[in-house]
Structure 1
Amino acid sequence: MRESVAVVHDLVSRLSPVDELGAEHRVSALAWLASTDDVFRRVKPASPPQHLVSYVVPVAADGRILLVDHINAGLWLPPGGHVEVDEDPALTARREIQEELGLGDAGLSRSPIFLTITRTVGQDHGHTDVSLWYVLNCTGDEELRPDVGEFNAVRWWTRDELVAADPGRFDPHFFRFLAALDRNGLVDELHRRTGLERLSRGSDRFGPVAALLFTPGGHISVRGGCGGGFEVVVWVNSGDLAAAGRTGDLDEIAGTMLDLHSGHSAKELAERHTYLAVTEPVAAIEALWHIITEHEAEVTVPLARAAAANPVLRRMWPWISHGTLNLYDRRDSPSQVKRGLAFHPALGGFMVRPYGGEIHAAEPIEAAVARAAETFASWED
């Protein structure tokens, strides 16, 4: 893979989808980036017909959003533009806000927070934009020098004004972006509500999380739920999943974090916060399968979904270690594994290796899943 394309592939792989459509766009974008290096616009207006774009959304300290009334598109859009050949999308973002609005990049996010795939409208030949959405934090009082050749108007919008506006006058994914923007500020908001210094963004062993808290008694990871709200998982220090649930109430999540930090057990957390349920083995296994099949890195998802569809393997503990899917005998727990196997990625598919046994030659996903199921079935007999 071309180095400049690999940079974009890494950016996309670390994005946490805001909803099911976002998850589909992420899968499609990763597959596209893995299939070709011709991802940058080479010739105006639309060669190749699908190419990368960097959007930049200026956000004022009071929450207002700056949008431009784009002449060609006939829509209110964030400023931005096409990524030049081999250009880092972050550099595109910096260049575009300077050229289009005269703004500096001091408040520009280091990475995009949102991804969309959109068939364009307007006077140019139709094409498909794969857009990375960056955020530019502003005071809201900056002097603007808009490019009058591209925009009919430029204005700051309040959230109330956006809610009252005709959604057909905006990028078709703009209001989904607002949900991602709110989610991206989750750590700051939870920190404001809890004062817990160990709160952070980052990743657990299953991929990116919106918020993460480590305590002496265990840790909590918070992901954006594909159906809305947030998925909250409580882990004990042994590495076992202890409780899980979904809620959109940030006060509940903050309270859960404070209670875990105070030393309350998973059972006590579930009693205090009814959105949580203590995960007995069957429920814990289902929760882990959900995380892996909906939120994990793309290289693992097709295999995990095929394994999850197999009734024998669905009963096993799924686990990710260094990008490798592992399955454990359901009679064990992740912290006390006696029997299990790993799927090692290889040219031609995956190599199945039972713990303590010989590794098999690489096979396509279907064959590797069937081999694993046969192995577990033999252990159950």
Structure 2
Amino acid sequence: MTKPFAARLTEAVARYRAEIAGPRELLSLLRWQIDQGHALDSRDTFPGHVTTSAYVLSPDHSRILLIDHVVIGRWLQPGGHWEEAESFHASAAREALEETGVQGLRLHPWHEGSDRPFVIDSHDVPGKPSRGEPAHVHHDLQYLFLADPGAPLVAQIEEVHAAAWKPLAELADIAPLGLARICSLTPPGAL
């Protein structure tokens, strides 16, 4: 039986902080919202709620799959608001598949088959006045995946202008912490 969302999130955040987080990754707002019992699985919860995203790498870690996001107007890793799934990484994988059509997606061995996040990035996002949504925070649980960059992609035009494999260095302006962690996994000279 799958644990309730709140229990899974509490466990994932605790494990991340104990095993992966740097000394400045306090995740204070996320932890406060967990302690307050906020429904972080609902996109209507403010000041923040959970999203998941995927760093989809080529097997040699030299390229990453990115999307040109319609609303945000820049290239990002695929991801989106939490929707019920058996795990956080399954939610991230579903977002990558929906937005890019990437096939053969597999969880990176770094995760050791667990739901331990690679990065937790709490970041500000603009609201949507048309939805009555204020500016808020996305607590993004990010996971690593591998896929064949030679397989065809099909961008989900409602949400993304395009999906494309880019050089890994493109993450420098998008997700510097994610890039640094990915580079630490890659043997010197492999890129």
- TM-score tier (shorter): 0.7 to 0.9
SS of equivalent residue, structure 1 residue 14: helix
Matched-pair contact (CA < 8 Å) for 1:4–1:87: no
Residues 347-380 of structure 1: CA distance to partner in whole angstroms, max 9, x if unpaired? xxxxxxxxxxxxxxxxxxxxxxxxxxxxxxxxxx
Q: How many pairs were matched up?
A: 171
Flag the 1:61–1:36 CA change in 2: closer, same or farther, 3 A: same
For 1:105 and 1:134, how far apart are their aligned partners in 2?
16
Give 5+ residue unaligned stretches, structure 1.
Answer: 191-381
- Maintained 8 Å contact 2:51/2:141: yes
Aligned-partner Cα distance in 2 for 1:116–1:155: 23
Q: How far apart, CA to CA, are the structure 2 residues paired with 1:32 and 1:52?
A: 11
- Give a deviation string over 1:148-174, Cα, whole Å, max 9, x none: 1111222222145556xxx3xx3xxx1
Q: Aligned partners of 1:12 and 1:55: how far apart in 2?
A: 15
CA RMSD of aligned residues (A): 2.6
The change in CA–CA distance for 1:139 and 1:80 in structure 2 (over 3 A counts) is same
Deviation at 1:131, TM superposition (A): 0.3
Per the alignment, residue 66 of structure 1 pairs with 65
Residue in structure 2 matched with residue 150 of structure 1 by the alignment: 159
Q: After TM superposition, list the pairs within 5 Å mapping 1:131-146 onto structure 2.
A: 131-146=140-155
**Contact 2:53/2:79 (CA < 8 Å) preserved in 1?**
yes
The match for 1:17 is 21
* CA 1:95–1:161: 2 relative to 1, 3 Å: closer
What is residue 111 of structure 2 aligned with on the other side?
none
Shift of 1:60: 0.8
TM-score by length of 2: 0.76
CA distance in 2, matches of 1:82, 1:54: 6
State the distance in 2 between where 1:159 and 1:71 align: 21
3-state DSSP of counterpart to 1:81? strand
Equivalent residues in 2 for 1:182-201, closer than 5 Å: 182-183=183-184, 185=185, 189=187
The answer to whether the Cα contact below 8 Å between 1:72 and 1:123 also exists between their aligned partners in 2 is no
Equivalent-residue separation in structure 1 for 2:105 and 2:177 (angstroms): 25
**Which amino acid counterpart does residue 10 of structure 1 have in structure 2?**
E
Task: Report the 3-state secondary structure (helix = DSSP H, G, I; strand = E; otherwise coil) of the residue aligned with 1:97.
Answer: helix
In the alignment, which residue of structure 1 is the partner of 2:120?
115
How has the CA–CA distance of structure 1 residues 61 and 53 changed in structure 2, closer, same or farther, with 3 Å as cutoff?
same
AA matched with 2:88 = P
Task: Note the 1:166-205 alignment, pairs <5 A.
Answer: 167=173, 170=174, 174-183=175-184, 185=185, 189=187
Matches within 5 A, 1:239-278: none
Equivalent residues in 2 for 1:341-360, closer than 5 Å: none
How far off its partner does 1:56 sit? 0.7
What is the TM-score normalised by the length of structure 1? 0.41
Q: In the alignment, what sits opposite 1:103?
A: 102
* 1:39 shift after superposition: 0.7
Please state whether the residue corresponding to 2:107 is helix, strand or coil: coil
Counterpart of 1:51, as a letter, is H
RCO higher in structure (CA 8 A, sep ≥6): 2
Relative to structure 1, the CA distance from residue 148 to residue 32 in structure 2 (aligned partners, 3 Å threshold; closer, same or farther) is: same
CA shift, 1:129, in A, is: 0.5
Go from structure 1 to structure 2 and tell me whether the alpha carbon gap of 1:159 and 1:87 turns closer, same or farther (over 3 Å shift): closer
Contact 1:61 1:139 in 2 (8 A): yes
Gaps of 5+ in 2: 109-113
Could you say what secondary structure the match of 1:145 adopts?
A: coil
* Runs of 4+ with deviation above 6 angstroms: none
Amino acid at match of 1:58: V
Q: Which amino acid aligns with 2:159?
A: E
Q: Which has the larger radius of gyration?
A: 1
